[in-house]
Chains A and B, each alone.
Chain A
Amino acid sequence: MSRTLSISIFRHNPRDPASAPRMETHELAEAPGMTLFIALNRLRESVAPDLSFDFVCRAGVCGSCAMVINGRPGLACRTLTAALPERISLHPLPGFALIADLSVDTGTWMRELAERLETWVHLAAEPDLDLLEAPLSPGLAEEIHELDRCIECGCCIAACGTAQMRPGFVGAVGLNKIARFRLDPADSRDDADHYELIGNDQGIFGCMSLMGCEDLCPKELPLQAQLAWLRRGMARQGLRGIFDKKDKK
């Protein structure tokens, strides 16, 4: 049986002084296999030509299209309307600057995070490209890949109470990246360096372990386990730091 969807969309253009935030509701005939990507494009083609939203891969891999779907952050492109009730509400992802309507600026946020946490392998020396690569245990390579799968979609930030209250908080996305480089034998940083980056309220000690992030991560990253592991490591490093300072005194 085909349904008529009633889709309520947050509309606002922050650059337009005449624009006020509002919800706009449109009806749409549901089609088989319809995703929110298809639905939103149909609305743009018909009744809402100026509707802003972001899709790139439309396959759930690029992290562009996160939005709040009936109250839950998620990837719109891979959300089938069939999995939703007839009434659908869509809001932009909180925690990021609004561009317009459902489009938010996650890119600038993630770039700043990368600069702050230096999310690249810190090499002891540049590799000689003519030689065999350094061996890596197959299991460890898979473990690193597991954490490397984050698509910077921002769902964990939208879902995180701390991140919403404390704008500088690096969130699960940032903490997971530190966990990833901590695992990587090619990265020359040690826990003292990691502590400098996240051993504070903006980092691991700001996290209240409520796990909104893990529940909503579309890549199902093992955030809970990683955050716990980091917290233990950083607590240890914190103590070490205190003793080191005493020693120096």
Chain B
Amino acid sequence: MNNLAPSSEVLAGAPTKVVEIIDLEKRFGDRVILNRVSLDLYEKENLVVLGRSGSGKSVLIKCMVGLLKADGGSINVLGYQVPLLSVHELNELRLQVGFSFQGSALYDSMTIRQNLEFPLKRNLRIFDQEVLNEKVMQALKDVGLENTVDMNPDELSGGMKKRIGIARTLILKPKIMLYDEPTSGLDPVTASEINELILQVRDTYHTASIIITHDISCARQVSDRMVALIRGESKLQGTFDELRGRNDEDLKHFFNY
């Protein structure tokens, strides 16, 4: 085997980059949260970003969709230079990037159906009830929760909320998915089901995904490639087995060796 090949990405034939982040910096006041974070994401790939609580994982993906403003470096998502976008361009980009929130962020004054219809009506301006119905049911079927369509978010368990949150972003058929701690706070069985769902989303919709987590079993199950976020810097890119084989001091808590 060619030992210049760093990981699976080269073996898969030259895939296109969909995200390129170079030397991203983010501060809150004097506190430096992200300091020179660089990472790439390729088509149809699941990239896991591993990091401890408070290491700035959520901040990283919020910068990618313009929810937070970066203080330095460049973020290129699907060819858009995120920090420089106009409101209109940002909107165009956001249609193509799905964001699953750490706390699901379902709209609690609306039913599940209204939650899913909301982006369709307000962003794509679809008002035909038949089309809406069809799309809603398809998205719910993708996450295996068709029977919750007329429930309220507060009637659902944490795992179900996570799935609905994912369905609400899938309904816009994004090219890139960003998952913020998809398995946090879930029991191992439910967590494993969510991981299955993430893989299934990649395979059916051919999305590229960034999965943020500190859950090592999630990382093992879903990752094609991983990058560790340590003290505000991105370190150690590679596959799961490569990272485990490094015996790195900073990663040992995650891998338990």
Q: Do A and B come from one complex?
A: no
Give B residues with C-beta under 8 Å from A: none
